Amino acid sequence: MKKILILVASILGLSGCVSNDMSDLQAYIKSTKATYKGKVKPLPEFKHQPPYVYAAADIRDPFKPVVDIEVTGGAYNGPRPDENRPREPLEEFSLDSLKMVGTLAQKDGEWALIKDPDGLLHRVAVGHYMGKNYGRVVSVDEEKVALVELVPDVNGGWTERNAAIALSE
C-alpha cells in the first residue's frame, strides 16, 4: 500500500513540472532566424589539372636489395649453428641478462665468471657457448668476454656478429 501511495505522489509531483507554454523557445528561434540570413557561399571552382604520369620503370626499386642476390638451388655453404652439440646452461639466457663479475686464472687457462639472472655463477672459457644466438666465446680477458654469434639473415642463411660482455662493477 505504501508503495502505491509513493508512486501516485511522485507521478502527481512530476506532472506539475510539465508546461505546454513554449513561447520562449519560439521567440528564440525567431530571433536566431532573423539574425542569420541563411546564405551559403558557392563552392569554389576547381581548375582541371592534367594527370601526372609517374614513369619509374628505369629507377631502382627502393624495396629490393641494392646488390642483386641470385638464389641458386645449391647447398648453403655459409656459417651455421651446430644443432648436434649439447646446449650449455648459459644458452638459455640473452646476452644482455648475463653479467661478467670477474676472471679466474688456472694452469689450464683463463676463465671468466658469469652470473646469470637467477644468481648462479658459471665458469666460461674459450670455446664455450652462451646467449640465445649461438654465441661462441672467442677470447677471455680481465675486462671482457668476446663472442661470435650466429644470427639469421634475410636470405635464409646465417651471419656472424661480434658481441661482448664487459666486466660489471
pLDDT at 83: 85
Domain of 100?
49-80+88-169
Q: Return the number of other C-beta atoms located less than 10 Å from residue 128's C-beta.
A: 21
pLDDT at 13: 73
**For residue 118, is it within any domain?**
yes
Q: What is the pTM of this model?
A: 0.55
HSE at residue 71, side-chain half, CA atoms within 13 A, is 5
pLDDT at 17: 64
**For residue 107, is it within any domain?**
yes
**For residue 34, is it within any domain?**
no
**For residue 124, is it within any domain?**
yes
**For residue 31, is it within any domain?**
no
**For residue 21, is it within any domain?**
no
**Mean pLDDT per segment of 10 residues, for the chain of length 169 residues?**
84 70 85 77 87 78 68 66 89 91 86 91 92 92 92 84 87
Whole-angstrom CA distances from 105 to 15, 82, 111, 124, 144 are 97, 29, 6, 11, 14
**For residue 2, is it within any domain?**
no
How does pLDDT run across 129-141, given as a tens digit for each residue?
999 999 999 999 8
* Structural domain total, the chain: 1
**For residue 8, is it within any domain?**
no
HSE at residue 12, side-chain half, CA atoms within 13 A, is 6
